[in-house]
Amino acid sequence: MHTIEVTGHHQREAWAAKQMPRVEEVRPGLWSIPVPMPGNPLRYILVYALALPDGLALIDTGWNADESWQALVNGIHATGHDIADVRHVSITHLHPDHFGLVPRLLEHADPVLAMHRNDARHLRYHTDAEVAAEIDAEIAESETLGGPRIDPSRSGLNVFVRLPDGRKVDVELEHDEPLDLPGWNVRAMWTPGHTAGHMCFADDDAGVMFTGDHLLPRISPNVSTSIFSSPDPLAEYLVSLANTENVGDLEALPSHEYRFRGLADRVTDLLGHHEQRLDEITAAVRKDPESTPWEITRSVTWSRPFSELSEGLAYMALRETNAHLIVLGERGVLTATPGPPIRWSAAVPN
């Protein structure tokens, strides 16, 4: 395993002490603003603020809670600006800790809102009938994977936040598209996997890469199947990792934990982690042929005993296991018998 170079020393110290880090000016005119995530083990997200001639640009916004909103407002004040000064918001991906405060921000400012189209498509207004259909589809997926019937309120549908009626994403970013941020040379990098529209943002002049959840210093992001993801999210994530291996010696500014250098080594470690995970799942299936994804999920290791996982985390674990099973099926290592529920066995050699 490679060792990254930690550059956010105060951030790592705060993480180890289970405290909130302070607002830091990472580069002249570039600040990291910690925004708490109440009740979440990740504890906070790092929002980034970039000074513009007429205000600020943000990368992500934070979790939708009063405590989080106040932290964002206070953090922006620490940069010498006001929340009304926000002119541009780029979203790495459509998860509630990254996008959640956008609707509240729009009550106080009128920024350009930019994100990848694959995530932007989930922001259109949903009727009650559409939401009900999505819940039914999510429940059906759980049953197809052999899992227990899920509580719809914990199915994952609450991940996506809606924009106010009549408001749309202003810019649907493409890979390698420059952001129109005067004074900066930021370009968008499409890195699907964690979500279908996940984006990183790199500024070679400033020597930084905003990595979102794509590259974190200590953990791998959850890469799962769902009705909102692409059909093969882990394969996309592995390709995205390989594509970010040669971006250069940029300092990684992640959404969680702390800043670091050593992007190529971190990519290598994450690729190795997923290969080990694929091997572990393969061994579990060979030991118990005709296993359902739920049975396989319960038989492999997790960061804590499976029995201690909440219903929501157990369901995320199931979907993550399923993403690995799909890759193993594509590689010809395992074969699936259609369900419901789906059952997996070792492929028979030709």
CATH number of residue 333's parent domain: 1.10.10
**67 and 182 inside one domain:** yes
Per the DSSP assignment, residues forming a β-bridge with 34 are 46
**89 and 107 inside one domain:** yes
Q: What pLDDT is stored for residue 39 in this prediction?
A: 85
**263 and 294 inside one domain:** no
**169 and 291 inside one domain:** no
- Do 227 and 138 contact (CB within 8 A), yes or no? yes
Last residue of a domain, one of 243, 271, 299: 271
Q: What pLDDT is stored for residue 13 in this prediction?
A: 97
CATH number of residue 148's parent domain: 3.60.15.10
**10 and 130 inside one domain:** yes
64 closest CA partner among 98, 16, 15, 87 = 98
Last residue of a domain, one of 232, 249, 271: 271
**262 and 285 inside one domain:** no
Per the structure, the count of domains in the chain is 2
Per the DSSP assignment, residues forming a β-bridge with 51 are 56
Cα 17–chain centre separation: 24
**316 and 266 inside one domain:** no
31 closest CA partner among 4, 52, 6, 12 = 52
pTM beyond 0.85: yes
**186 and 267 inside one domain:** yes
Q: What pLDDT is stored for residue 134 in this prediction?
A: 72
Q: What pLDDT is stored for residue 160 in this prediction?
A: 55
The single residue listed with the structure tokens 């189209």 is 117
**230 and 320 inside one domain:** no
**13 and 56 inside one domain:** yes
**146 and 231 inside one domain:** yes
> What type of residue is 106?
L
Long-range contacts at 306-315 (CB < 8 A, ≥ 24 apart): 311/150, 311/151, 311/154, 312/154, 312/156, 315/142, 315/147, 315/150, 315/154, 315/155, 315/156
The single residue listed with the structure tokens 């106040």 is 70
Residues with Cβ within 8 Å of residue 244, at least 6 apart in sequence: 189, 191, 200, 214, 215, 263, 267
pLDDT tens-digit readout, 135-171: 777 777 777 888 877 665 554 545 556 787 778 899 9
From the CB of residue 321, how many other CB atoms can be counted at a distance below 10 Å?
Answer: 26
Residues with Cβ within 8 Å of residue 10, at least 6 apart in sequence: 21, 22, 24
Q: What pLDDT is stored for residue 333 in this prediction?
A: 97
Q: What pLDDT is stored for residue 103 in this prediction?
A: 94
pLDDT < 50 stretches in the chain: 155, 157
pLDDT tens-digit readout, 288-314: 999 999 999 999 999 889 999 888 788
* Beta strand 55-59 pairing with 86-90: parallel
User: Radius of gyration (Cα) for the chain, nearest Å?
Assistant: 20
**228 and 307 inside one domain:** no
Distance of CA 272 to CAs 222, 249, 258, 291, Å? 16, 21, 22, 25
Last residue of a domain, one of 240, 271, 302: 271
The residue range of the domain holding 299 is 280-346
